[in-house]
Amino acid sequence: MVDCIYPSFDSVHEDPNYLKNRAILAPTLQVVDSINDYMLSLNGSEMKTYLSSNSPCKSDSNPDFLANIHTPEFLNGIKVSGVPNHELHLKVGTPVMLMRNLDHSQGLCNGTRMVITRLGKHILEAKVLTGLSAGEKVLIPRMSLTPSDVRLPFKFERRQFPLIVSYAMTINKSQGQSLSNVGLVLKKPVFSHGQLYVALSRVTNPTGLKIAICDTDGKSTNVTMNVVFKKIFRNL
């Protein structure tokens, strides 16, 4: 899949025009992270790792109890949609996606794609790939982020650069993107209504779409499941 979506990567891996038109999609963060780690290994530039600081949001009822249970080590290990990982691995030339709104007037919104141009200690420089500020360089500071995932039984705050590597991205995070080359990796079927449609409709031309599907035994197949909540259509 990497060879199909990112051909000749060695020679053009820092070219913004090459990076902005392609991405690999998958339903889960686990698959996305593994693809992004592999793509980073193909980039010969020096890698820098940025660590977040994490703290539990205090409960009015018993703040000391939560602080003792949700230690920094425990919070560091949490990987959840809506916030970057504790360890953010970046190289110059890495495509990234903004996870928070920075400046609406300049089009620097959640979902804006950029490519890293400079790795500072306390601030990052990136060139915008899409939107109103496409082609311009912007500075990205660290921000305090709180996950919005309702499945978490508690809230915590993560201070990190509001970016995720975007060689690959989850299907949900790809909403709003328009790409000429899309790879869809389905090691497991999609798990929510409309998710398959979102993935397939990211590509501007069917010839730019590549799909890899695995069955329950991990073998290649050409059949997958599409999740449809029938009750949505009953009253139409």
Largest CA distance in the chain: 57
pLDDT digits (tens, 9 = 90+) for 197-230: 999 999 999 999 999 998 888 888 888 887 776 6
Q: How far is CA 56 from the centre of its chain?
A: 23
Q: What is the pLDDT of residue 188?
A: 87
Tell how strand 168-170 and strand 22-26 pair up: parallel
CA angle 22, 208, 32 (to 5 degrees): 45
pLDDT tens sequence across 202-211: 999 999 999 9
Q: Which helix (H) or strand (E) is 30 found in, with range?
A: helix 29-42
Please give the residue range of the domain that contains residue 30: 2-232
- Quote the pLDDT of residue 79: 87
Instruction: Please name the residue ranges forming H helices in the chain.
Output: 2-5, 9-12, 16-19, 29-42, 63-69, 72-76, 195-200
Minimal CA–CA distance to 186: which of 4, 27, 6, 35? 27
Q: What is the pLDDT, as a whole number, of residue 234?
A: 66
| Number of structural domains in the chain | 1
Mean pLDDT of the chain: 88
**pLDDT given at position 232:** 62
Q: How far apart, in whole angstroms, are the C-alpha atoms of residue 39 and residue 167?
A: 7
Strands 181-186 and 209-214 turn out to be parallel
Beta bridge partners of 216: none
Q: How many CB atoms lie within 10 A of CB 170?
A: 19
Q: What is the pLDDT of residue 169?
A: 95
Element containing residue 146 per DSSP (H, E):
none
- Per the listing, tokens 């705050």 go with 157
pLDDT at 233: 61
Which amino acid, residue 160? Q
Q: What stretches in the chain show pLDDT beneath 70?
A: 59-68, 150, 229-236
